[in-house]
Amino acid sequence: LAELLGHVALGATTLLAWLGLGSVVLLRGPRVGDARLDFLNRVGVGALTFVLLTFAAGWARLLYPAAYLPLFAVSALIGAVELARSARGRPRPRIDWPRWQLALLALLALYVLIDLISVSAPISSPDAVLYHIADPNLFEKAHRIFEVPWNSSSYEPFSVEMLVLDGMLLWNPVQGAFAPLLLALVALAAVMGFTQRIAGWSGAVLAGAIFFAQPFMVWEATSTFIESGIALAMALSAWNLFRFVRYSERSGLVLAGAFAGGAAGMKYVGLIAALALAAVAVAVLAKRLNLRLALGFAVPAIAVALPWYVKNAVLTGNPFYPHVFGGLNASAARELRDSMRSFGHGHGPLDFLLLPVRLLADAKAFDGGQYLSPLFLIFAPAALLSRRARTAVLFTWAGVLLFIIAWFLTTQQARFLVPVMPALAVLAALGVLELIRQGGLTRGLVIAVTAGALAAGLGASTVYASQFVPVVVGSESTQQFLREKVSNYDGVEWLDERLGPRDKLATDLWTLFYLDMPHITFGTMGDLLPVDAGPAATRAFVARYGVTKIAILDGDAARRRQVGYLRAHLIARVSVRSVRSRTRGHFGPRHDLLVYDVGRRG
């Protein structure tokens, strides 16, 4: 529990550091007239500045706590002063809110607690141990950023991973895992802050609950995924754009561009979201649009996102590697394409029409989609009934649909819908308010459906978080927790006990974060050694990367065949099992991890 409190305290200090650094950067930079948005802009710009500084420090081989901590401490101090200054002139909030609003606020507070418990457990999310945490961990240990050729996902823009890396420099990987949660909390503040401006506090708490009080967001924000960062960037970008459209504040346009660039610097899906927002901006501005305004948005956007695309261009010759313009070997490209298209129910026109139905009733195929709140889909269309804001609602819906079409055509993973959740939450809140105004049966039905969905979501979220409680409060050991939650962890323990820094392991395991020795994989998609590679390519792979040991699962026929091309001898069979569901405790059948010695290094 002391550790949990330590993580929470450092998480709060991190928010102050983002605010402090952002305040310095924006001291003479663009500021908007809305004090609340200006405050959030400074937090967001601070986070993006830390990203770019960490990225630069990584390539300059300066990833040391001694370099990071002074900047962090000074920034946090400035942030504390800024926070005090912002709070001083503000009237005390009234507490005569209706009971339902207080209940929704209490629900949000409960979700923050659920998230804090879930994120404080040892890292166990499969994607995190493969790369979201594993790669920053490698960078932190090497004190520098380097190419990770065995993981094609590491070529995605990695802004949130830089903030994860900051958390590691601050304390440890769990502190790093706090970064996406902090981004989600700031996104929540942005969603509520904006909705309060256009629909009052009733709209704000509704939008906040729809966005944040759902099991899907608990999973998303506490598993070291990065989409909460894109959600924040898109929310701030859209709010700043709103300031420009409504009040002609040029600062709003520049900041909208900067945050759109921030989204594009977090993952390729963020680039798609930023382009959808830019398309909406063009449509909204229409006659007002000129070259100067276009550059006012595009220049900051490109400046913030560019480092990631330049990095890829330098390392691979392709700024969008590995998704566009190729670069992967044929079998890896095929596997990547198949894996991206494996989510969802199909890609035809009928599948698109059935999307709302499937997202509500049969969403498991969208990878965790069954944990999405139904309130987005059920109520966001009702925002179109609002006469007062119909044009704005139509433009927002157009942007959301544009993004969803791209999502539908590329990879239908529910996580990649998070970038449009802030907009959908605002729309859904407006829809709820519009319907409730009708009174009578409509009002009763809307309240019942909303309360029912939130109650069901809270139940699922509690079940999810409860698996982490024993290890967080210390009644379960970390090792025991990892054996139950991380695939093939028994094999990892065996390798960690017997192999050392002089070994170089090649493996098809994806639990890379917990491997203590130098290691490499054959590539997430066989990027480095295709599954159909012959003897010469296999020997070249081993020689090139100085492989001394190989650990592969006995069911991996292609790799076993390739091991046969080497002068390798089997030194151990370790019984392992995969984890199919952490929450339900479902495991795959037991397999053997085959460990081979392939001779001395070099």
Partner 1 sequence: VNSIKRGVDETRRPRRTGYVLALAWIVIGSVLYAVELLRLAVG
What residues make contact with partner 1 under the rule CB under 8 A?
Answer: 356-357, 360-364, 370, 374, 377-379, 381-382, 384-385, 387, 431, 435, 438, 442, 445-446, 449, 452-453, 456, 460, 584
Beta carbons within 10 angstroms of residue 488's beta carbon: 26
Strands 505-507 and 549-553: parallel
Nearest distance in Å: CB 392, partner 1 = 17
Nearest distance in Å: CB 456, partner 1 = 6
Measured from the CB atom, the residue of 368 and 546 that comes closer to partner 1 is: 368
Measured from the CB atom, the residue of 385 and 398 that comes closer to partner 1 is: 385
Element spanning 113, H or E:
helix 99-120
Nearest distance in Å: CB 206, partner 1 = 15
Q: Which token pair is 178?
A: 């706090």
Nearest distance in Å: CB 335, partner 1 = 29
Write the Ramachandran bin of 233: left for phi over 0, alpha for psi from -120 to 50, otherwise beta. Answer: alpha
Nearest distance in Å: CB 177, partner 1 = 26
Which amino acid appears at position 302 of this protein?
Answer: I
Measured from the CB atom, the residue of 339 and 438 that comes closer to partner 1 is: 438
* Location of structure tokens 């802009």: 41
Measured from the CB atom, the residue of 267 and 358 that comes closer to partner 1 is: 358
User: How distant, in Å, are the alpha carbons of 210, 477, 513, 600 from that of 481?
Assistant: 32, 6, 15, 35
Element spanning 521, H or E:
strand 519-521
Q: Is 391 helix (H, G, I), strand (E, B) or coil?
A: helix
User: Helices (DSSP H) in 509-563: which residue ranges?
Assistant: 535-545, 557-563
Nearest distance in Å: CB 446, partner 1 = 7
Phi and psi, residue 302, nearest 5°: -65, -40
Cβ-based neighbours of 277, under 8 Å, separated by 6 or more: 234, 237, 238, 241, 256, 260, 399
Measured from the CB atom, the residue of 28 and 387 that comes closer to partner 1 is: 387
Measured from the CB atom, the residue of 203 and 523 that comes closer to partner 1 is: 203
Nearest distance in Å: CB 452, partner 1 = 7
CB contact at 8 A, 16 and 76: yes
Measured from the CB atom, the residue of 25 and 384 that comes closer to partner 1 is: 384
Closest CA to 310 of 264, 253, 257: 264
Strands 519-521 and 505-507: parallel
What is the spatial distance between Cα 237 and Cα 251, in angstroms, rounded to a whole number? 11
Nearest distance in Å: CB 581, partner 1 = 9
User: Helices (DSSP H) in 367-498: which residue ranges?
Assistant: 375-379, 390-409, 421-436, 440-466, 469-473, 478-485, 489-498
Nearest distance in Å: CB 342, partner 1 = 20
Sheet holding 505-507, edge to edge: 519-521, 505-507, 549-553, 586-597, 569-581
Measured from the CB atom, the residue of 431 and 523 that comes closer to partner 1 is: 431
Measured from the CB atom, the residue of 317 and 585 that comes closer to partner 1 is: 585
Taking CA 216 as the corner, what is the angle to CA 345 and CA 162, rounded to the nearest 5 degrees? Answer: 105
Nearest distance in Å: CB 583, partner 1 = 10
Measured from the CB atom, the residue of 475 and 581 that comes closer to partner 1 is: 581
CB contact at 8 A, 115 and 463: no
Nearest distance in Å: CB 360, partner 1 = 4
Measured from the CB atom, the residue of 246 and 586 that comes closer to partner 1 is: 586
